[in-house]
């Protein structure tokens, strides 16, 4: 099948497999989503969801977060990994939200990416899942599958995001990036992948790397 047919097949398969896609990270508003996404860097969503209830019981808003010290935050989030950097990021972004944004998470990529510890992927998740703005956050699952399905070169996540946005309809981005993540975890893992039974790879072929 050509690339257009491949994209259409992928969309149909993902929609049939995951007609409803919950946001993997537990949160109650855009601030707790922002913190949870920051914590998810090089950490599983499951682990983050185990840690955030303890953190948010003490501080589920930037004002209360500033009442904690960086060391106190670090002690709570240590199981998520990279706790020295993440704790400084959470405290620092909370300070900026209070001082510059009236305690609210800003609704723009530019403002979000200026916050400590917030890169383009984190900003994209908040914009798409928090504000409903079309975005295509690329995590390791999406980066791997876009390459495996020969839809991107796999050189870097920046190129993968550009390719995903070019190939898939904008109206589907926010749901589709979650569908790909769920599919990657269930059927198309980095290790132990079985292309002969994977609902997509067995139909479209795949590259052997990633």
Distance (Å, whole) CA 62 – CA 31: 8
Determine the 3-state secondary structure of 25 from DSSP.
Answer: coil
**Residues carrying an active site annotation:** 121, 139
- The topology under which CATH files domain 3-21+136-204 is Endonuclease Iii, domain 2 (1.10.1670)
Tokens of 37: 């996404």
Q: How confident is the model at residue 205 (pLDDT cuts 50, 70, 90)?
A: low
Helix axis angle, 140-148 relative to 173-186, nearest 10°? 80
CB under 8 Å to 46, separation ≥6 — which residues? Answer: none
Residue with the bigger pLDDT between 40 and 155: it is 40
Name the segment(s) of the chain with CATH classification 1.10.340.30: 30-130
Residue extent(s) of CATH 1.10.1670.10 domains in the chain: 3-21+136-204
CA distance 110 to 102: 17
CATH architecture of 30-130: Orthogonal Bundle (1.10)
State pTM to two decimals: 0.92
Is the backbone of residue 150 left (phi > 0), alpha (psi -120 to 50) or beta? left
Helix (H) or strand (E) run with residue 8 in it:
helix 3-17
Nearest to 120 by CA among 160, 148, 84: 160
> Mean pLDDT across the stretch 5-15?
97
Q: Where are the beta strands (DSSP E) in 9-140?
A: none
Tell me what the pLDDT averaged over the chain comes to. 95
pLDDT at 208 over 70: no
Structure tokens of 29? Answer: 């508003």
Q: Kindly tell me if the per-residue pLDDT of 210 is higher than 70.
A: no
Alpha-carbon span 61 to 144, nearest angstrom: 35
Interval 21-70: pLDDT, tens: 999 999 999 999 999 999 999 999 999 999 999 999 999 999 999 999 99
């Amino acid at each position: 099948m050509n690339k257009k047919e491949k994209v259409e097949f992928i969309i149909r398969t993902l929609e049939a497999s995951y007609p409803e896609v919950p946001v993997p990270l537990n949160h109650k508003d855009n601030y707790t989503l922002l913190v949870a996404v920051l914590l998810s860097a090089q950490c599983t969503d499951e682990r983050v969801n185990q840690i955030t209830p303890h953190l948010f019981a003490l501080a589920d808003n930037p004002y209360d977060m500033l009442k904690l010290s960086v060391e106190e935050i670090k002690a709570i989030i240590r199981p998520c990994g990279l706790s020295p950097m993440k704790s400084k990021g959470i405290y620092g972004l909370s300070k900026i939200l209070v001082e510059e944004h009236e305690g609210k998470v800003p609704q723009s990529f530019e403002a979000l990416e200026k916050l400590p510890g917030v890169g383009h992927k984190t900003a994209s998740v908040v914009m798409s899942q928090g504000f409903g703005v079309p975005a295509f956050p690329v995590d390791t699952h999406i980066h791997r599958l876009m390459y495996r399905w020969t839809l991107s070169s796999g050189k870097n996540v920046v190129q993968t995001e550009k390719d995903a946005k070019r190939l898939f309809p904008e109206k589907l981005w926010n749901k589709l990036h979650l569908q790909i993540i769920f599919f990657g975890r269930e059927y198309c893992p980095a290790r132990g992948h079985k292309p002969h039974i994977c609902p997509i790879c067995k139909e479209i072929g795949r590259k052997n790397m990633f």
